[in-house]
A and B are shown apart, each in its own frame.
Chain A
Amino acid sequence: EDKVVQSPLSLVVHEGDTVTLNCSYEVTNFRSLLWYKQEKKAPTFLFMLTSSGIEKKSGRLSSILDKKELFSILNITATQTGDSAVYLCAVDPYQGGSEKLVFGKGTKLTVNP
């Protein structure tokens, strides 16, 4: 069974801290890994990773994939209160034309002023 596990489940930090969120996966046919940010509404897309070792960056957020060890990390530097959200990791386990994703349970990040 395809599985995505995120850790930690929750995290509380102070503004300015750097955080690392983890995502490990077990899927039969890996195609891509995606990160989403969910505040009080719909998840919004952050990154899609398909190749091992290539870092994707967007401002203070960055992510990298290790296909050999089957995990990804999401880094947030100089955290701000607006980074408080649930961060979701999802994997596309290519299944012959089906485009569904398998989601982890999320990491709830709280950034205190």
Chain B
Amino acid sequence: DVKVTQSSRYLVKRTGEKVFLECVQDMDHENMFWYRQDPGLGLRLIYFSYDVKMKEKGDIPEGYSVSREKKERFSLILESASTNQTSMYLCASSFGTSEQFFGPGTRLTVL
């Protein structure tokens, strides 16, 4: 079974803090994705990566950066957290054109 894990299920941070969200997949997938999910707005793509050290902006990259130093790990970084980044963050991975497999999500609250 494909397993996508995320470092935290719940996280509370203060405005201005640097926040790291980690995602690890164990199926050697080349593609990895970060989404945020908000009520009424659905899933929105922040960044994705199709190979180690490669990254591409999604629909809402502002205020975020990513890092992919190893194939199995894709990190989302909030350089200076703001209250409007309070959200559910979902990581996903896929192989080629297959379906995306999602992690359990991290619910981030920025105070």
Q: Which residues of B contact A34 (CB under 8 A)?
A: 99-100
CB distance from A80 to the nearest CB of B (A): 23
- When A43-B102, A88-B43, A105-B40 are in contact, do A100 and B33 touch as well, CB less than 8 Å? yes
Chain A residues 30 to 58 lying within 8 A of chain B, measured CB to CB, are: 31-32, 34, 36, 41-45, 48
Query: At the interface, yes or no: A103 with Cβ under 8 Å from chain B?
Result: yes
Complex interface bits, B77-111 against A, C-beta within 8 A gives 1, otherwise 0: 00000000000001000101111111111000000
- CB pairs A–B below 8 angstroms (22 shown): A32-B97, A34-B99, A36-B102, A41-B104, A41-B105, A42-B4, A42-B90, A42-B104, A43-B90, A44-B102, A48-B99, A88-B42, A88-B43, A90-B43, A97-B50, A98-B50, A98-B56, A99-B31, A99-B48, A100-B45, A104-B42, A106-B42
A81 and B64 alpha carbons, distance in the complex (Å): 38
A34 and B105 alpha carbons, distance in the complex (Å): 20
Query: At the interface, yes or no: A61 with Cβ under 8 Å from chain B?
Result: no
- Contact-size category for B: 20 to 34
How many pairs of A and B residues are in contact by the CB < 8 Å rule?
Answer: 50
Give me the interface of B with A, judged by CB distance under 8 Å.
Answer: 4, 31, 33, 40-45, 48, 50, 56, 58, 90, 94, 96-105
CB distance from B9 to the nearest CB of A (A): 9
Q: Are A103 and B43 in contact (CB under 8 A)?
A: yes
